[in-house]
Amino acid sequence: MKSLLKEASKHNNLIHISKKNIRILKWIAKYPVTHKGRRHLFQILQDILSRPACRVVDQGAAEGIICRLLQDRNYDVLAVDLEPEFRQCWNRLSVEGEIADCSYNNWWDGKKFDIIIAGAWVACHGSEKKITRDRRHTLERIRDSWTEILKDGGIVYFDVNVNKYPLNPLLKIFETKFEIKRFSKIPRHVFKCIKK
């Protein structure tokens, strides 16, 4: 926990160390990820917060911690996750959310987003060296759903564990509609995709 607070203090314009955010940071500290993994979370948040408050959807939001941190900075945030048990966490944090499959847009209200935080769930669909027809279809559906709900010039962040998932087949599918930039390599490859 001390190392996490030290990392958070480096980003003092990112996070206010209030009692509520201390509780959230303690929650992050319980995650089964490395400290470096938390650092890339702070890097993504820092990048998002470098732009004016805007509309953000966190796909695969889990407990909704990122949503709460952004909400505290006046961002219009929506959490989306497939697992119903996370709704209780969202209620505790006062985070608005939808229980839905992120690869379909049946949860979407029609108002476009500026930013999508997609996390690691996308890479799971590209987990074989040779992507099967079904997986390709799923990845194309994800890509098309992003282009539908995202404003022109909008940004998607997603990360890939390159030891588990191959990059090239995955990126080739997304680069038809997005300009893809490698955002971070430590410890995971994080991509910042800008809608063309």
d(CA 93, CA 46): 21
Q: How far apart are CA 178 and CA 172, in angstroms?
A: 10
**Residue 12 confidence (pLDDT):** 44
pLDDT at 109 over 80: yes
Lowest mean pLDDT among 11-25, 81-95, 170-184: 11-25
- Here the tokens at position 133 are 């027809």
Give the residue among 160, 67, 65, 82 at the shortest CA–CA distance from 115.
67
Buried b (16+ CB within 10 A) or exposed e, 2-28: eebeebbeeeeebbeeeeebeebbeeb
User: Taking the C-alpha atoms of 184, 29, 8 and 59 in order, what is their torsion angle to the nearest 10 degrees?
Assistant: 50
More confident position, 101 or 162: 101
Looking at 3.30.70.890, 3.40.50.2300, 3.40.250.10, 3.40.50.150, the CATH number of the domain 52-195 comes to: 3.40.50.150
**Segment 9-41, tens digit of pLDDT:** 444 444 444 555 555 555 555 444 444 445 667
Task: Name beta bridge partners: 78.
Answer: 57
Return the domain boundaries, the chain: 52-195
Name which of 127, 129, 115 is nearest 158 in CA terms.
115
